[in-house]
């Protein structure tokens, strides 16, 4: 037990090897794991935004069930998302997979580029703020709902790249 530190008393199941290299060296991850984490983040964002966008569109519908604007907003959001997914997000997803595969010393935090992590850290609270600001306002509910649906469909459409590259099978990596 002298080479390993047992953290069970801290209710953890992890064992860390004692090293003079520090935490940085202990945060190693395989390229396969990084791609799986990237896929989980990609799919999670798509699913959460799909649910949120759908809820916003439903709220707009409950405010004005007679208007065609609600259905138009949903259709425009889905159509824009499909186009963005095919032509923009797919390339971004593919570049990220290629970047991860080219890493020589992969670390757990490298599943996304640092700029993308910062972008997410800004956009998630901004999305929450936009949704809460839209509450009760038919036009804003439609606009924010369409925006969320478009990003959701873009993420879900472009996620096919993970399947194309065979990232869900260890043999594909």
Region of 143 on the Ramachandran plot (φ > 0 left; ψ -120 to 50 alpha; else beta): alpha
Beta carbons within 10 angstroms of residue 10's beta carbon: 7
Q: Which residues, in sequence order, are CB contacts of 5 under 8 Å at separation 6+? A: 15, 16, 18
78-93 pLDDT, tens digit per residue, is: 999 999 999 999 999 9
> Which residues on neighbouring strands pair with residue 4, listed in sequence order?
17
Q: Is 115 exposed, middle or buried (0-12, 13-18, 19+ CB in 10 A)?
A: exposed
Q: What is the mean pLDDT of the chain?
A: 86
pLDDT confidence of 167, banded at 50, 70, 90?
Answer: confident
d(C-alpha 141, C-alpha 56), whole Å: 6
Q: Tens digits of per-residue pLDDT, 29-42?
A: 888 889 999 999 99
CB atoms within 10 A of CB 131: 20
Q: Residue 5: pLDDT above 50?
A: no
CA pair distance 55, 165, nearest whole angstrom: 33
Model's pTM, two decimal places?
Answer: 0.81
pLDDT at residue 18 in the model: 53
Tokens standing for 54?
């759908």
- More confident site: 74 or 29: 74
Say yes or no to pLDDT of 50 above 70: yes
pLDDT given for residue 2 in this prediction: 43
Q: Domain boundaries in the chain?
A: 30-168
Res. 56 pLDDT band, cuts 50 70 90: very high
pLDDT tens-digit series, residues 111-127: 999 999 999 999 999 99
What is the spatial distance between Cα 151 and Cα 158, in angstroms, rounded to a whole number?
10
The whole-number pLDDT of residue 166 equals 78
Give the H/E segment covering residue 88. none
């Amino acid at each position: 037990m002298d080479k390993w530190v047992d953290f069970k008393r801290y209710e953890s199941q992890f064992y860390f090897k004692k090293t003079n290299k520090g935490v940085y060296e202990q945060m190693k991850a395989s390229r396969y794991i990084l791609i799986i984490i990237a896929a989980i983040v990609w799919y999670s964002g798509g699913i959460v935004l799909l649910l949120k966008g759908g809820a916003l569109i439903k709220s707009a519908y409950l405010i004005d069930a007679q208007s065609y604007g609600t259905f138009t907003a949903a259709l425009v959001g889905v159509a824009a998302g499909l186009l963005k997914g095919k032509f923009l997000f797919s390339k971004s997803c593919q570049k990220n997979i290629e970047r991860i595969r080219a890493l020589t010393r992969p670390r757990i935090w490298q599943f996304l580029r640092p700029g993308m992590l910062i972008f997410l850290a800004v956009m998630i609270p901004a999305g929450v703020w936009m949704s809460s600001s839209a509450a009760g306002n038919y036009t804003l509910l439609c606009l924010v709902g369409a925006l969320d649906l478009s990003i959701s469909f873009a993420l879900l459409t472009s996620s096919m790249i993970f399947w194309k590259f065979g990232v869900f099978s260890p043999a594909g990596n």
